[in-house]
Every structure is written in structure tokens, then in C-alpha cells.
Amino acid sequence: MSKKTIRIGTRDSQLATWQAKQVAKKLEKLGHETELIFVKSEGDLDLTTPLTEMGGKGVFTKALDNAQLNDEIDIAVHSFKDLPTENPLPLKVAAIMERADARDSLVAPDGTGFLDDPDYKATIATSSNRRRAQWLHRYPHHEIVNIRGNVNTRLEKVEKNNWDGAIFAAAGLERIDLGHHISEYLDWMVSAAAQGAMAVMIREDDSEMEEIVSQLNHDETALCTTIERDFLHDMEAGCSAPVGAYAFIEDEEVHFKAVALMLDGREQYDYEERVSVGEAGDLGHSAAQALLAEGAIKVIEEMKSE
Ligand SMILES: NCc1[nH]cc(CCC(=O)O)c1CC(=O)O
């Protein structure tokens, strides 16, 4: 039987390409031929507008969605955290790949000594409201500046500018062999829902691809990232909200941590729970209800009035 070559769509950044190749390798191990097709996204082409002003949802995914709907590609590889939690298109996630390091990290070209000086007004670069708010909660005397671009561009900017540091997803740096730039892992920061995980999308009615791609699914990652994304979805705060969510499994239990903050970082709402894997299905939803009832609804109202 002659099999058709699976056309894998990806953004053309180094990180996206690495991730797509990873999926290609797994498919090739299963006996399939693959080909990479590069698609430019709005988020990659416009490097000046802050992400929070770019219409938010799907700036990195829309172009890939269109290529997929037009049958120019069979599957699309996405950073799962870039996928909006609601998708009205006839596309669906068929596999979630095993998660890498989910943590945020600090790149500080001149070292991290300044973190210990309570009088030093450091400048930290990030365009994520989640990172900004958590950073300011911990270091209220620091200043946050916006930074845009893919991982490589942002790394160049940190080296050229006079900032004290910039915040990156550790997985993004490590995957493309830039992990040595990490000065510190921010273990105290709650990462974005699904950070460090990749999702493979197919057309909803493509049962042939579904059968193939679903073999790549990593069940534990799927459970954890689904809980995180359920939480984000129910917070109804959108992908640019100062909301973090992280779940991991240890000894048959799901450990879940979530956080929501006012943009200036002054108020923070925390949630932490541990439940058995068998009972974790609803955890993201119940956590959102609990946190909203506790007062985090203010965070959502602030986002909506922005
Ligand atoms: N926001 C863009 C984005 N989407 C996915 C990653 C990194 C890889 C991942 O989290 O899976 C990054 C870069 C970053 O946040 O520093």
C-alpha cells in the first residue's frame, strides 16, 4: 500500500521548526513519510505591536488554521499554550505531546545579584501580563518593559538593551539549545496553562489522520494540560490575562496550582489542591469557581475593562 506523505504545517521560527521536526520524527518511527510546510503567522510578521494589543486570540495560530482548512497541510504543530481555549473552526487537537520543562526562567546577562538588592530599581522585559503581574507582586520596586519577537529575537534584544533581565519559557530556550542563557529558573512563578507542551491539530473530519496522530498522545500531559486549560477557559479572562495554571502528577495524584492577579501585581489570588488522578477530571473547572468566588472575579473585570 502506498501511503501519502503527511504534510506538517508549522510556523517558521527556530522553536516552531524544532517542535514540528519532533512530531515528524515520531510519525516516521511509526512508518509514515512527512514533509514540513512553513506558514507565516501574524504574530511573527508584526514585531512591533504589543501582543496584548494584537487582537489577542490566535495571532500565532490563525495562519496555520487557514492552511489546514484549505487542505494545504494535513496536520499542524502548535505550542499548546498559544492555542485559544475556544475553537469555533472544524479543527481539533488529536494529540498532546509529552511536556518538557513547564517553568518560566530569567535571562539576566549580567547575573542575578540585583534580585537581592531591595533598593535597586531593575528593568525586566516581558510582554506577558501573567509574568508581569507575578514579577511585580514579588518585586514591586521593579519596572517591566515590553519585548516582542520569537525566542531568538528576544534573546538578541536582551543582550543589546540595558535591561537587567527578560523572562522566557525554559522549554523554548532549551529546545533550541539556548538553555545556557538561563540565569535562574523561576520556580515560584506559576506558568501559563499548557506551557511546555505541543499540540497536534487535525481537521475534525479527518479520521485517517486522527488514527495516526492520536498514537502520539501522552496521557499524563493531556490530563494535566486539560485541567490547566479548563481553568483558564472558565476564568473567562482570555489568553492575555494575568492567570497561571500548572498541574503535575506524582504518586497517582494530580497536584494543581493556579494564580490570578491584578495587572499591577498588588493583589494575588492563589489556589492549590491535590486530588487522585481518577477524581481530577473536574479540577480545572472547580478551581476556577473557587478562585472567582474568593475575589478573583476582580481580575476578570479588570481585563474586560482594559
Ligand atoms: N508566547 C510565545 C511562546 N509560545 C510557546 C513558547 C515556548 C514553548 C512553550 O511554552 O511550549 C513561547 C515563548 C515564551 O513564552 O517564552
The pLDDT of residue 54 is 66
- If asked whether residues 85 and 205 sit together in one domain, one would say yes
**Residue 223 belongs to some domain of the structure:** no
CATH code (residue 68)? 3.40.190.10
The pLDDT of residue 52 is 65
Q: Cβ(106) to ligand 1 under 6 A? A: no
- If asked whether residues 110 and 144 sit together in one domain, one would say yes
The pLDDT of residue 1 is 45
**Residue 260 belongs to some domain of the structure:** yes
Interval between CA 170 and ligand 1 midpoint (Å): 8
What is the residue-wise DSSP string for 172-237? Answer: HHHHTT-GGG--EE-TTSPPPTTTT-EEEEEETT-HHHHHHHGGG--HHHHHHHHHHHHHHHHTT-
Query: What does pLDDT average to in each consecutive run of 10 residues of the chain (306 residues)?
Result: 84 95 98 96 71 66 92 96 93 97 97 96 96 97 94 94 97 97 98 98 97 98 98 85 96 98 95 97 96 90 82
Domain range enclosing 117: 104-185
Domain count, the chain: 3
Nearest atom (ligand 1) to Cα of 82: 4
CA dist., res. 243 & res. 239, Å (int): 8
Q: Which residues belong to the active site?
A: 82
The pLDDT of residue 62 is 86
- If asked whether residues 75 and 204 sit together in one domain, one would say yes
Q: How many C-beta atoms lie closer than 10 Å to residue 110's C-beta?
A: 11
Choose the residue to mutate in 79, 83, 174 for probing ligand 1, maximizing ligand atoms within 8 Å of C-beta: 79
Model ipTM value: 0.94
Q: Cβ(171) to ligand 1 under 6 A? A: yes
CATH code (residue 296)? 3.30.160.40
CA dist., res. 31 & res. 44, Å (int): 33
**Residue 190 belongs to some domain of the structure:** no
Q: Indicate the length of the chain as a whole number.
A: 306
| Contact of 39 with 69, CB cutoff 8 Å | no
Residue 106 pairs with which residues in a beta bridge?
Answer: 167, 184
pLDDT tens digits, 73-120 = 999 999 999 999 999 999 999 999 999 999 999 999 999 999 999 999
Q: Cβ(131) to ligand 1 under 6 A? A: no
- If asked whether residues 10 and 93 sit together in one domain, one would say yes
Q: Cβ(81) to ligand 1 under 6 A? A: yes
- If asked whether residues 201 and 95 sit together in one domain, one would say yes
Nearest atom (ligand 1) to Cα of 196: 11
Edge-first strand listing for the sheet containing 104-107: 143-145, 123-125, 165-169, 104-107, 184-185
pLDDT tens digits, 259-299 = 999 999 999 999 999 999 999 999 999 999 999 999 888 88
